[in-house]
Structures are given as structure tokens and as C-alpha cells.
Amino acid sequence: MSPSDDPAPSPPAVFEAPWQASIFALVVALHDRGLFAWRDWNRVLVQVIAEQDAAGAARSPSDGIADPAGDGARHPADWVRALEILLAERSLVTPDELTGMAEAWAQAYRTTPHGQPVTLEA
């Protein structure tokens, strides 16, 4: 029996989109700077996932949050929500600051030409 000439299959992508890798990196960086302990991150993330699971029947797959397959595809959005909660708990941001930043990113996304990186003005 001889080795196959076929290339090995590529491993599955860890993240489906660059923003998902970015939120992961942000959480790790904030932890590394000592803004929160992993046990605190875990507590809030588990709470968010449980709340989303409980609300699952009331959500539709088209909203980008539902996870009917139970495969964790929804979890990057859960990471965003958990980070928002943790930052607010630590009084590192106010609700108005979170809303303002979300609006700024949405505006930047809408006005960035296709294929270009989305950035915020200083």
C-alpha cells in the first residue's frame, strides 16, 4: 500500500469571520491586562449562553443569534454580550458609551467600501 498523493484535508476554521477572532483576542488581551479573572469571564459567559438558550424558542434563526443546531455558531455574539456585561459590571464603560461605540461601528461598517477594513475615526 502506497501513501496517497492527495493533500491532507484542511482543518476546520476556528472562526467564521474576522470579527470573531477580534472579539476573542480582545477578551484575552483585557484579561491579560488584569481587567477581569477567567472565573468572572466564565460566570458571565455561562449566564449569557443560558439566557440565550432559554430565549431560544422565542428567537428566529434569521436574527443571527438563535442556535437551533446547538453547534455553538451563536457563541461569538454571546462573547460580545458577555464582554459588554463584564465591562459594565467593572464600571469600565457606561451603557451610553457602549451604545455610542456600537453606533459608531455600525456607521463605519455602512460607510466602508467593500473589501476595505472597517476603522473608526479617532
- Separation between Cα atoms, residue 63 and residue 76, nearest integer Å: 14
Amino acid in position 7: P
Residues of the chain with pLDDT under 70: 1-5, 57-73, 122
- Separation between Cα atoms, residue 61 and residue 42, nearest integer Å: 25
Predicted model pTM:
0.69
The predicted pLDDT at position 19 comes to: 83
DSSP letter (8 states) at residue 59:
S
